[in-house]
Amino acid sequence: MIANVIVICIWSPNLDTDAPNWINFSFAAGLWLYSTFDNVDGRQARRTGTSSPLGELFDHGCDAVNCTYVALLQAAALGLGHSPSAAILLFVTIAGFYLSTVEEYYTGILYLGYVNGPTEGIIVTCLAFIWSGIYGVASWHVLVSEVSWLAWTTSVLPSGTTFADVFVWGMVGFFLVTHLPVCIYSIGQVSKEKGLNRKTVFENVFVPLIATGVFIYSWLSSSSSIVFTEKHFIVFALFTGLLFGEMASDIILAHLTRSEYPRFLSIYLPLFLASLLVNLQSFFQIKLVDEYLLLVLLCCVKFYTYLVRAVRVINAFCDFLGIRCLVIPTSKQSDRTIVPKTSAEQEAESLLVAQEEGSSQQQQYNTF
């Protein structure tokens, strides 16, 4: 997926041009392979005896960051350009994953409904990539009303609606109808069963999401913003994607360690300050800061802090569980003697079982 984003930066940096057909096919192959590996990694870990809560944290952390990559690939394949439509796709994608992670925090289970993003959403997206590879990006910008057997849609759809618009708003509807209500219902039910204050729970869940959405909107919609006009949306998407990736990682970390729901203030504070600076420039008609340099600086700093924090958390998990990261221990046939498990191993195993079965153990695992 990272390679495909690099391909975009080289062959389709404007996100609105017809790139070589093989690029769109590589998008489909990359996303499908990522989805496949994402589904089999747990089974592989159990087969090799390396299952651990660290694996779940790895899985969700990679998925959280990957949401941004998927949105950028979609924008390039549909020829959306550096536009509000691309921003809508980005926000819907990362918001959906954020809510799924929150749902797992409260319910103990990552529930995927009959219609969901990791299956149907990926299939639809891969088909869109293949379509772009065959017919080109321009095919998405044909007016729906120009297709004879779809002429009846003129009474339903706004004038000038293209197939790219249908895809984008279809994804929004997909999120609002099949995903958001299920997450709200599940979180509400579990909160009721556990005797939690549902008002407080929903405030914890939606205030950070709504606040982040407002900050993103206020930045991009500012008359002085150059994110769209000077085509810097890719950098903006990578920055906001890292923010949401850190938010999702914090939630799953709190879930694994039985900690309180995170507050995220330090995460979306940079987004708020940047949005404020951009809008102050518009209000006072003065240039306070170079927006592009600010955006690049924020992206680099967030990438560095995200990486440092990830290494620290991984090392802490490895020390606590007595394992090595990304290493499968080897054992000789003659060495396979039954050895009593240490208390740390027993605790790690019980924690893993709790995550896989979604049980609500009373034992605490606050290690960070």
pTM of the complete model: 0.85
Q: Which structural domain range is residue 204 located in?
A: 2-327+339-357
Q: Is residue 175 part of a domain?
A: yes
Asked whether the CA dihedral 186, 192, 198, 204 is positive or negative, the reply is: negative
Q: What is the largest CA-CA distance in the chain?
A: 77
**In the 8-state DSSP scheme, what is residue 157?**
S
Is residue 158 helix, strand or coil? Answer: coil
**In the 8-state DSSP scheme, what is residue 4?**
H
Q: Is residue 311 part of a domain?
A: yes
What is the pLDDT, as a whole number, of residue 212?
A: 92
Q: What are phi and psi of 53, to 5 degrees?
A: -60, -25
What is the pLDDT, as a whole number, of residue 348?
A: 52
Q: Given the structure tokens 């605490």, which residue do they identify?
A: 364
219: burial class by Cβ within 10 Å (0-12, 13-18, 19+)? buried
Q: Is residue 334 part of a domain?
A: no
Q: Is residue 362 part of a domain?
A: no
Q: What are the tens digits of pLDDT across the range 83-120?
A: 999 999 999 999 999 998 999 899 887 766 666 667 77
CA distances, 90 to each of 78, 234, 261 (Å): 13, 11, 24
Q: Is residue 181 part of a domain?
A: yes
Q: Is residue 244 part of a domain?
A: yes
**In the 8-state DSSP scheme, what is residue 197?**
-
Asked whether the CA dihedral 65, 69, 72, 77 is positive or negative, the reply is: negative
Q: Is residue 363 part of a domain?
A: no
Which residues in the chain land under pLDDT 70? 111-117, 331-368
What the block records as the tokens of 9 is 């930066």
Report the domain count for the chain: 1
Q: Is residue 37 part of a domain?
A: yes
Is residue 50 helix, strand or coil? Answer: coil
